[in-house]
Amino acid sequence: MRRRGRTLLLHAALSALALATFFPLAWMFSVSLMPQGEASAIPPALVPSRPTLEHFRALFLRLDLGRAFLNSALIAGAVTALSVFLNALAGWALAKLRFPGRRRLFSWLLASMVVPGQVAMLPLFLLLRSLGLVNTMAGVVVPAAASLFGIFLIRQYALSIPDELLEAARVDGAGEFRIWWSVALPLCRPALVTLALFTFVGTWSDFMWPLVVLTDESKYTLPVALASLVGEHARDVELMMAGSVLTVLPVLVLFLALQRHYIAGITMGSVKE
């Protein structure tokens, strides 16, 4: 009997926590479908009296957020493709190819992870300016084409692959690139999916750097466009919630579809040498 009471308490606590965690997102969805003014009426509504898509229509037709959506998708897609490719090459070599200086190189890369990105930002801006990349998509994509975390993640995973598989390919006379392409990549697939997912979600949500580099409204990514809209339409709750839904939904859906890989990646990234 005491045990049942405890189990009940446990689930009550979990449900309360889950409800509190879920509420802001549920509220966002609900308000995004409300007719204008309903969320800030006294007393405010929690559920739309008659659901409408007018705010989404306004975002696309009047405020050109469709373009920001496209910019975000293009930038996140390009960064993901490029950086998964480069990180997979480097991570594999650091795990499986013997070359002089490998150990030292790896410990340097590891140590660099404590340097916050902001330290590089101002000079990077000046550099991109002299290259003519300020206010271009390339200005967001190129600096993100490789990442310390990505290299680290692939290396950790590749270490667990037995050498015998590579030796067999080497005996068959395959070159290292060929081995990487047709043996390493398929074997590292779980790590690659995880890295791609992390990179896409991270780039999609990134704010500070796109805010700095993209000066033209037509180049804005969704978070930058949303942040600037909030400044102008601070009173228009329903419209802003529609904008938030538009920004959050793609990554949330991606996460729900590939949850297993996402969670595995978090624990993978924390594995210590």
Partner 1 sequence: MRAEARREALSGWLFVAPALAVLAVFFVGPVAAGFLLGLTDVDLYALGGVGAWRFVGLRNYGRLLADPIFWQALRNTFFFVLVGGPLTMAAALGAALLLDAKATRLKGLFRTVLFAPVVTTLVAVATVWRFLYNPRAGPLNLFLSFVGLGPVNWLGDAQWAMPSLVLMAVWKNFGYGMVLFIAGLQAIPESLHEAARIDGAGAWTRFRRITLPMLRPTLLFVGVITTIGYFQLFAEPYVMTGGTGGPNNATLSVALLMYKQGFRFWDMGAGAAIAFLLFLVILGASTLQVRLQKGSDA
174 binds partner 1 (CB under 8 A): no
Span of 14-22, 54-62, 63-71, 188-196 interacting with partner 1 by CB under 8 A: 14-22
User: Angle 237-257/189-205 helices, nearest 10 degrees?
Assistant: 170
By CB under 8 A, name the one of 5, 43, 162, 173 that touches partner 1.
Answer: 43
Distance CA 95, CA 89 (A): 10
By CB under 8 A, name the one of 5, 100, 173, 186 that touches partner 1.
Answer: 100
251 binds partner 1 (CB under 8 A): yes
> What's the angle, vertex CA 154, arms to CA 149 and CA 159, rounded to 5?
125
> What's the angle, vertex CA 48, arms to CA 43 and CA 50, rounded to 5?
125
46 binds partner 1 (CB under 8 A): yes
Distance CA 204, CA 248 (A): 9
By CB under 8 A, name the one of 42, 172, 186, 216 that touches partner 1.
Answer: 42
Residues 109-168 that bind partner 1 (CB under 8 A): 109, 112, 114-127, 129-130, 142-143, 145-146, 148, 151
222 binds partner 1 (CB under 8 A): yes
Span of 16-24, 51-59, 63-71, 157-165 interacting with partner 1 by CB under 8 A: 16-24
Contact 153, 97 (CB under 8 A): no
Site string for partner 1, 62-91 (x = CB under 8 A): ------------------------xx-xx-
Residues 191-210 that bind partner 1 (CB under 8 A): 201, 204-205, 207-208
Distance CA 95, CA 102 (A): 9
By CB under 8 A, name the one of 5, 49, 172, 267 that touches partner 1.
Answer: 267
Q: Which ranges of the chain would DSSP assign to H, the alpha helix? A: 2-32, 54-61, 65-96, 102-112, 118-130, 137-141, 148-159, 163-171, 176-179, 185-187, 189-205, 208-213, 222-232, 237-257, 259-269
Distance CA 209, CA 230 (A): 19
223 binds partner 1 (CB under 8 A): yes
| Gyration radius of the chain's alpha carbons | 23
In whole angstroms, how close is the CB of 46 to partner 1 at the nearest point? 7
Span of 55-63, 156-164, 186-194, 224-232 interacting with partner 1 by CB under 8 A: 224-232
